[in-house]
């Protein structure tokens, strides 16, 4: 039986303008069979949430490349809860913190902020797609 396509909302958070990775992710996720709502660059938390509500999204995939990820992502989970998106999957990736920090610590901090998964710099889209399929129970 054909499954209903899972819907992802993607975008680059905050005042971040790095546009190339976002385009690559858009194509990679679409090719992998997801329904992708791409909000592009410079996306506020509110915009992620509004898009996810209207489209009944299954996951929000946040990119942050310019080092301000920690600041920009703070409070997103709480706002999702507030908006009735209690169970939505939250991922973050890119260069989410400044410089080179041990990633397990970074991951812990983002976990505490409510992100289901966070990914270190240079993670290829395939890894992300595998994780999504697992978390959203998508069968190949």
In DSSP terms, which residues pair with 93 in a beta bridge? 63
17 touching ligand B12, by CB under 6 A: yes
- Residue 45 touches which of ligand B12, other proteins, none (Cβ within 5-8 Å per kind): none
> Rounded CA gap, 45 and 86, in Å?
15
- Residue 123 touches which of ligand B12, other proteins, none (Cβ within 5-8 Å per kind): ligand B12
DSSP summary character for residue 1? -
Q: How far is the CB of 125 from ligand B12 (least distance, A)?
A: 6
66 touching ligand B12, by CB under 6 A: yes
Residue 18 annotated as catalytic: yes
Alpha-carbon dihedral angle through residues 55, 58, 59, 60, given to the nearest 10 degrees: 20
Name which of 136, 133, 48 is nearest 85 in CA terms. 48
> What part of residues 54-83 is at the interface with other proteins (CB under 8 A)?
54-57, 66-68
35 touching other proteins, by CB under 8 A: yes
Q: How far is the CB of 113 from ligand B12 (least distance, A)?
A: 14
Contacting other proteins (CB under 8 A), which of 21, 30, 50, 116?
50
* Residue 36: alpha-carbon gap to chain centroid: 11
Residue 137 annotated as catalytic: no
Alpha-carbon separation of residue 36 from 26, 58, 68, 101, 122 (angstroms)? 7, 10, 24, 31, 21
Residues of this chain that bind ligand B12 (CB under 6 A):
15-21, 24-25, 61, 63, 65-67, 91-95, 98-99, 119, 123, 125, 128
């Amino acid at each position: 039986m054909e499954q209903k396509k899972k819907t992802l909302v993607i975008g680059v958070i905050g005042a971040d303008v790095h546009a190339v990775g976002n385009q690559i992710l858009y194509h990679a996720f679409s090719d992998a069979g997801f329904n992708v709502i791409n909000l592009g660059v410079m996306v506020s938390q509110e915009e992620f949430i509004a898009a996810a509500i209207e489209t009944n999204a299954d996951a929000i995939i946040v990119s942050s490349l310019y080092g301000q990820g920690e600041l920009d992502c703070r409070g997103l989970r709480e706002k999702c809860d507030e908006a009735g998106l209690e169970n939505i999957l939250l991922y973050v990736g890119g260069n989410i913190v400044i410089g080179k920090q041990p990633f397990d610590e970074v991951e812990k901090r983002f976990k505490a902020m409510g992100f289901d998964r966070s990914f270190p710099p240079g993670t290829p889209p395939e890894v992300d797609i595998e994780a999504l399929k697992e978390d959203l129970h998508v069968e190949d």
